[in-house]
Amino acid sequence: MKKNYENKALTIYLEGKIDSFSAPEIESEISQARQKYPSETIILDCDKLEYISSAGLRLILRIKQEVEDTRLVNVHTDIYDIFDMTGFTEMMTVEKAYRVISVEGCEVIGQGANGKIYQIDRDTIVKVFLDADALEEINRQRELARTAFVLGIPTAIPFDVVKIKSGGLGSVYELLNATSYAKLLINKEKTLDEVAAMSIKMLKLIHSKVVKPGTMPDEKIVVLDWADFLKDYLPAEQYKKLCALINAVPTDFHMMHGDYHIKNVMLQAGESLLIDMDTLCHGHPIFELASMYNSYVGYGAVDQSRILNFLGIDADTAYAFWRKSLELYLGTTDESVIQDVENKAKIVGYTRIMRRTIRRNGLSTETGRAEIDNCKAVLADLLPKTDTLLF
């Protein structure tokens, strides 16, 4: 068997079949390798392993009992299922082998804080995560999607994990002939009012669902963290007022999407589906509206081309879509009511943008400083005259 020894880790490349006939010889060879290379970690690479019987499983179990840090990597699906059914995945690290795909030349149909979504063929999309070691994030997103699906939210649940040729991991979804809300607008397949109505119908469905504590992040805690970050960047009175407003929002277990915009909802055979679920959370709807405000308006306040690059629609259309969405969500055309809620959303939204810009070294660039100054101006204007974020 091929072997590799590095940093007290012995990698052994398993091949072919491990059954009652071959297991003794394989175990003997592994034992000899361990004697020659004293190891704190044993890595069994299963890329070329075709079959494993109970004798092979017992062999691996004995190795695990002798070397606590024993891992199985590059395990193909059929072999992985055996390890999963027999409980090996619960007692040791078992890493699947992932097929490799390329997204070069594929259309970007969605984009969020954690990655981009590509249409890789007529029936399939893949979310490519920015973090190269995103397996834990992918699994978390899958669980959140399942939770939402069980609660009655039409979602596209990822069915496969793949390696991206250019680097990183991706989560694959099947979406037959699906079109994003953004593309419906861009291609004029539906009017702005029609898409806004579909969008808010879906949003209200999401917000109608109550989740169990602990199943999703509490967005209030996240927003408080944004505000706390700004302690050294805002005047003391503004910082205290901002934290007080957020703290006064009651804990709410209604579901939120967390990154809801026209590139994260698809229309498939007349049904709307959510496609980016890693931001699912619970909380008061003001936090959702703040995220929406940022997507349609806030992120383009200093440079409106960002809106076009992000959503594929110009800043004027995006603002009109935001206002129509707010009108439909609130169920009123009363300008004073709409403006009041927009101002509340802006407080939360610009808190996030300011933190994000500073963390991305914005204080060192002209554009970044302009962004931060704009956030400060909005907060300085709105905080003194806002008594509550509730509506």
Domain end among 33, 62, 96: 96
User: What pLDDT is attached to residue 113?
Assistant: 66
Decide if 390 is inside a domain.
no
Same domain as 106, residue 59: no
Q: How many CB atoms lie within 10 A of CB 322?
A: 22
- Residue 222 in any domain: the answer is yes
- Same-domain status, 151 and 202: no
Rounded distance between C-alpha atoms, residue 150 and residue 155, angstroms: 10
Domain assignment present for 150:
yes
Last residue of a domain, one of 131, 146, 174: 174
* Nearest C-alpha neighbor of 100 from the set 80, 65, 126, 78: 126
Is residue 173 within 8 A of residue 264, CB to CB? The reply is: no
Cβ neighbours of 183 (radius 10 Å) = 19
In terms of domains, do 109 and 189 share one?
no
Can you state the angle between helices 285-296 and 335-359, rounded to 10 degrees? 70
> How far apart are the C-alpha atoms of 93 and 73, rounded to whole Å?
8
251 and 207 part of one domain: yes
For residue 239, what are its two tokens?
Answer: 């910082």
- Predicted local confidence at residue 112, as pLDDT: 67
- Count of all residues that appear for the chain in the document: 391
Listed residue (297, 276, 284) closest to 389, CA to CA: 284
Domain range for residue 294?
179-385
Tokens for 24, please give them.
Answer: 């003794």
Instruction: Please indicate, yes or no, whether residues 163 and 184 belong to a single structural domain of this protein.
Output: no
**CATH classification at residue 297:** 3.90.1200
Name the DSSP letter for residue 189.
Answer: S
**253 lies in some domain:** yes
* Sheet strands side by side (includes 265-268): 179-180, 265-268, 271-274
Q: Which pLDDT score is estimated for 125?
A: 84
Residues of the chain with pLDDT under 70: 112-113, 132, 176
Bridge partner list, 11: 4, 43
342 and 376 co-located in one domain: yes
Angle between helices 335-359 and 366-382 (to 10 degrees): 140
Shared domain check, 135 and 80? no
Domain boundary among 39, 61, 96: 96
pTM: 0.77
Contact 41, 6 (CB under 8 A): no
**Using CA atoms, how far apart are residues 282 and 37, in angstroms rounded to an integer?**
51
**Strand 160-164 to 179-180 pairing:** unpaired
Listed residue (74, 99, 97, 102) closest to 166, CA to CA: 102
Q: What is the pLDDT of residues 233-253, one digit of tens each?
A: 999 999 999 999 999 999 999
Q: What are the b/e assignments for 353-367, b being 16+ CB within 10 Å?
A: bbbbbbeeebeeeee
pLDDT tens digits for range 117-170: 898 887 888 989 877 677 888 888 888 988 999 999 998 778 888 889 888 888
Q: Distance between CA 82 and CA 59 in Å, rounded?
A: 14
Domain co-membership, 26 together with 142: no
Q: What is the CATH number of the domain that holds 49?
A: 3.30.750.24
CATH code for position 139:
3.30.200.20
Looking at the fold, whether 199 and 328 belong to one and the same domain comes out as yes
- The total of other beta-carbon atoms located within 10 Å of residue 84's CB is 15
What is the CB neighbour count within 10 angstroms for residue 296?
25
What distance in Å separates the CA atoms of residue 354 and residue 374, rounded to the nearest whole number?
A: 9
Distance from the first to the final alpha carbon of the chain: 67
Count structural domains, the chain: 3
